[in-house]
C-alpha cells in the first residue's frame, strides 16, 4: 500500500466517518448527519425518533470561543445559515445510540461576530426514542427499577449540567481582554510577590481562600480559573503539558537500601530542586495565584498597552515526577503559544542546583521528559507477596501456578498488559564457614547486600537514570532513550525505560510469616511487612531483586557517544532487559570474587 494512502481505519477515525453515512457512490458525500446503524446486524430495526426542546437560554461570549468549545466537546456542525442578518448554527452530538443532542445558536451576523462578545441565544433539544424521553421526564411519577436505565438518565442530566456550566465559564472568560481591566489590574500587594489565594483544608481539602481581603474584586475574577480542574482546561483554553523529573537531594539518604533500627527505609526527596523550580516560576510569572501551585503570566503585544492574553501554569507533583499543565486564553495565536513554551523549556533546561564545595560542575535541577511518564510510572508501595509470579497479558503466570494478585495493585496490573517487563532474582548463597580458633571470618549480612544495591544505584545514575519514586526501600529509576526507525528518513521517538530495585531480601520462611501477619501488625511493627533482620538474617540465602519495564517501540535505541550506557546502544526494546541483566550479573560476580 502506498504510504500516503488512507486505509479504512484512517478514514473512519481521522476523518470522523465512523458514525456517518457511507455515500461513496455520490460525488459529494453527505456528512451532515450522524449515522450509527450497523448494516451487518440485519435484525436491528430503526426506531422512530422524537424531538423535545429541553433548554432555551442565552450566553454572553464571543462566537469563536463558543464554536471552539463545542467542537472540542465532540459536537459537529450540522448546518449553518444566515437569514435577515441573523446567523444560525446547529450543532449535533451523538450522545448515545439513537440519542442525539442538538445545540442551536443564533446571534446577529456582523463583521466582527467571531471576535467580539455579544449575546448569543441557544436552544438545546433532544432527539431520541419515546422510551428514553419518558425516562428523563417522568421519574417523579414512577421511579425506575433498573439500575442501568437510572444510570443512563443520571449521565444524561450530568451532561446537560456540564453544558450549562461550560457556557457560564465561557461568559467569564469573554471578559478578557475586551473588557478585562479587572483581569490585569494587579494590586500592588500581589505584584510584589504575595499569592492571590492559599490552599486551605477547611471546609474541604485543597479549598482556595483569598489571601488579601483588600482585593476582593481581583480575587473574584481569578477564583473560577484557579478552581478549574486541568483535565477540563481544554474546553475553554489551549493546553499543553511539560513533564519533568526533579533531581534528587544530595547526598542520598543513609537508609535508602537498608532499614534503620526501627525497620524503616528513607525515601528519595527533591526539596532542593523543587525550591529552584518554584523560584524560577515565581520570577517568570506576572503574579502568583497559589504559592507552589498556580502561576499566571500576561502576554503583551506592545509594552505600554494592556495585555492581549495570558498563560497559566498548574503544577502537579507525583513524587519526583512533576507535570506542568500549561494553558493559554482562547484565541491566543499559535506562534505566541509556541514562543512562550520554548522560552519556558529554555529556562527549565538551565536550572541548576546550588553548588557544593566538593562538586566540580553544576548539577541540573530537572530533566525534561517527552512522554507522559506519570501515566505509566510503576509505583510499589510494599514488597511483593510472591516474587515468583508475574501476570502477563494472556493471564498466564510464570514459575508459580498460584492465582495471586498483581504486586502494585490495579494500576500495575493494567500497565503489565501494556509495558514489556522482566524481573530478575539473584540468589546469593551463604558460604560454608568453618570455625577456626582465634580467627574471626567475615560474615555475609544485610549490610553487604545493601552495599551492592548502592553500587548498582550509582551505576544507574551515572548512566543517566533519574529517581522517580521510592517507598519501603523500593526505588524506581527512569531513563528516556530515542528509538530510531530502520528507514533512512524515519524519525526517532522517545522510549521510557523504568528500572526497579528492591531492598535486600532473605529467601526463607519469612514469606509465610509475613502472610500470616495482620495489617495492624504490619503498620505498627517493622516497615511494610518486613520481619526484623535479627530474626531471619541467619535463616536463609540473600536475594537481589530488580525489574525493568519498557514501553514497546519500533526501531533501535540511540544513545549519545559520551554515555556510559553504550551497551544499550542500537538495541530493540525487547533486547534491553537481557543487556541490563548480563551487565548487573557481571557486576555481582566481580563483587563476590
Q: Which has the higher per-residue pLDDT, 25 or 116?
A: 116
> Tell me, what's the pLDDT at 279?
96
Q: Which has the higher per-residue pLDDT, 411 or 548?
A: 548
Here the cell at position 50 is 422524537
- Is residue 207 scored above 80 in pLDDT? no
> Tell me, what's the pLDDT at 489?
62
CA–CA separation, 391 and 415 (whole Å): 11
CA–CA separation, 546 and 497 (whole Å): 13
Q: Residue 396 phi/psi, 5° resolution?
A: -80, 135
* C-beta atoms surrounding 143 within 10 Å: 8
CA–CA separation, 494 and 131 (whole Å): 50
CA–CA separation, 151 and 148 (whole Å): 5
- Is residue 488 scored above 60 in pLDDT? no
pLDDT tens-digit map of 227-280: 888 988 888 889 999 999 999 998 999 999 999 989 899 999 999 999 999 999
> Tell me, what's the pLDDT at 320?
92
CA–CA separation, 440 and 334 (whole Å): 73
Report the chain's mean pLDDT, rounded to a whole number.
Answer: 80
Cα 471 → chain centroid: 20
* C-beta atoms surrounding 255 within 10 Å: 18
Q: Per residue, what are the HEC states of 501-529?
A: ECCCEEECCHHHHHHHCCHHHHHHCCHHH
Torsion over CA: 234, 237, 240, 245 (sign): negative
> Tell me, what's the pLDDT at 554?
86
- Candidates 545, 575, 390, 563; CA nearest to 479 is 563
pLDDT tens-digit map of 422-454: 999 888 776 654 455 554 444 567 888 898 899
* C-beta atoms surrounding 445 within 10 Å: 15
Confidence class of residue 402 from pLDDT cuts 50, 70 and 90?
A: very low
- Is residue 559 scored above 50 in pLDDT? yes
Cα 571 → chain centroid: 28
Helix axes 130-137, 147-173, angle to 10 degrees: 80
CA–CA separation, 218 and 175 (whole Å): 13
* C-beta atoms surrounding 336 within 10 Å: 16
- Is residue 522 scored above 50 in pLDDT? no
- Is residue 394 scored above 60 in pLDDT? no
- Candidates 158, 115, 167; CA nearest to 136 is 158
- Candidates 396, 394, 426, 391; CA nearest to 408 is 391
Amino acid at each position: 500500500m502506498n504510504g500516503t494512502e488512507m486505509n479504512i481505519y484512517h478514514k473512519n477515525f481521522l476523518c470522523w466517518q465512523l458514525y456517518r453515512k457511507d455515500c461513496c457512490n455520490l460525488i459529494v458525500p453527505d456528512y451532515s448527519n450522524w449515522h450509527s446503524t450497523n448494516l451487518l446486524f440485519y435484525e436491528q430495526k430503526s426506531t422512530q425518533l422524537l424531538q423535545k426542546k429541553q433548554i432555551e437560554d442565552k450566553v454572553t461570549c464571543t462566537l469563536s470561543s463558543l464554536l471552539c468549545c463545542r467542537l472540542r466537546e465532540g459536537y459537529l456542525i450540522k448546518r449553518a445559515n444566515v437569514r435577515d442578518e441573523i446567523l444560525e448554527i446547529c450543532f449535533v452530538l451523538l450522545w448515545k445510540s439513537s440519542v442525539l443532542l442538538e445545540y442551536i445558536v443564533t446571534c446577529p451576523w456582523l463583521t466582527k461576530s467571531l471576535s467580539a462578545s455579544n449575546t448569543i441565544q441557544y436552544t438545546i433539544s433532544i432527539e431520541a426514542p419515546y422510551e428514553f424521553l419518558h425516562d428523563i421526564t417522568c421519574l417523579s411519577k414512577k421511579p425506575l427499577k433498573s439500575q442501568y436505565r437510572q444510570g443512563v438518565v443520571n449521565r444524561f442530566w450530568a451532561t446537560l449540567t456540564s453544558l450549562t456550566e461550560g457556557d457560564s465559564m465561557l461568559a467569564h472568560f469573554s471578559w478578557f481582554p475586551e473588557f478585562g481591566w479587572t483581569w490585569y489590574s494587579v494590586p500592588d500587594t500581589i505584584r510584589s510577590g504575595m499569592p492571590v489565594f492559599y490552599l486551605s483544608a477547611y471546609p474541604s481539602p485543597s479549598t482556595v481562600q483569598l489571601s488579601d481581603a483588600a482585593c476582593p474584586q481581583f480575587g473574584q475574577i481569578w477564583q473560577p480559573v484557579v478552581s478549574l480542574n486541568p483535565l477540563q482546561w481544554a474546553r475553554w483554553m489551549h493546553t499543553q503539558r511539560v513533564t519533568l523529573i526533579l533531581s534528587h537531594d544530595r547526598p542520598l539518604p543513609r537508609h535508602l537500601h537498608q532499614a534503620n533500627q526501627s525497620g524503616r527505609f528513607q525515601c528519595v526527596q527533591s526539596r532542593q530542586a523543587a525550591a529552584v523550580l518554584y523560584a524560577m516560576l515565581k520570577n517568570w510569572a506576572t503574579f502568583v495565584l497559589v504559592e507552589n501551585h498556580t502561576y499566571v503570566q500576561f502576554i503583551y503585544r506592545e509594552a505600554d498597552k494592556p495585555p492581549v492574553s495570558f498563560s497559566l501554569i498548574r503544577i502537579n507533583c507525583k513524587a519526583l515526577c512533576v507535570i506542568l499543565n500549561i494553558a493559554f486564553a482562547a484565541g491566543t495565536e499559535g506562534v505566541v503559544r509556541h514562543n512562550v513554551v520554548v522560552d519556558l523549556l529554555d529556562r527549565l533546561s538551565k536550572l541548576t542546583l546550588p553548588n557544593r564545595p566538593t562538586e566540580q560542575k553544576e548539577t541540573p535541577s530537572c530533566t525534561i521528559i517527552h512522554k507522559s511518564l506519570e501515566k505509566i510510572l510503576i509505583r510499589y508501595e510494599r514488597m511483593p507477596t510472591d516474587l515468583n509470579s508475574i501476570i502477563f497479558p494472556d493471564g498466564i503466570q510464570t514459575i508459580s501456578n498460584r492465582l495471586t494478585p498483581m504486586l502494585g495493585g490495579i494500576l500495575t496490573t493494567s500497565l503489565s498488559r501494556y509495558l514489556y517487563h522482566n524481573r530478575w532474582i539473584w540468589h546469593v548463597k551463604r558460604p560454608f564457614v568453618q570455625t577456626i580458633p582465634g580467627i574471626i571470618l567475615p560474615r555475609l549480612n544485610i549490610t553487604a547486600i545493601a552495599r551492592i544495591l548502592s553500587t548498582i544505584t550509582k551505576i544507574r545514575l551515572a548512566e543517566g537514570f533519574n529517581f522517580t519514586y521510592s517507598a519501603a526501600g523500593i526505588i524506581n529509576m527512569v531513563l528516556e532513550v530515542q528509538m530510531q526507525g530502520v528507514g533512512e528518513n524515519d524519525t526517532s521517538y522517545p522510549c521510557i525505560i523504568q528500572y526497579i530495585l528492591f531492598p535486600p531480601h532473605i529467601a526463607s520462611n519469612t514469606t509465610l510469616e509475613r502472610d500470616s501477619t495482620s495489617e495492624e501488625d504490619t503498620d505498627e511493627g517493622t516497615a511494610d511487612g518486613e520481619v526484623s533482620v535479627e530474626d531471619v538474617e541467619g535463616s536463609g540465602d540473600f536475594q537481589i531483586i530488580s525489574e525493568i519495564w519498557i514501553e514497546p517501540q519500533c526501531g533501535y535505541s540511540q544513545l549519545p557517544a559520551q554515555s556510559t550506557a553504550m551497551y544499550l546502544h542500537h538495541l530493540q526494546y525487547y533486547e534491553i532487559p537481557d543487556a541490563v541483566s548480563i551487565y548487573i550479573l557481571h557486576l555481582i560476580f566481580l563483587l563476590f570474587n
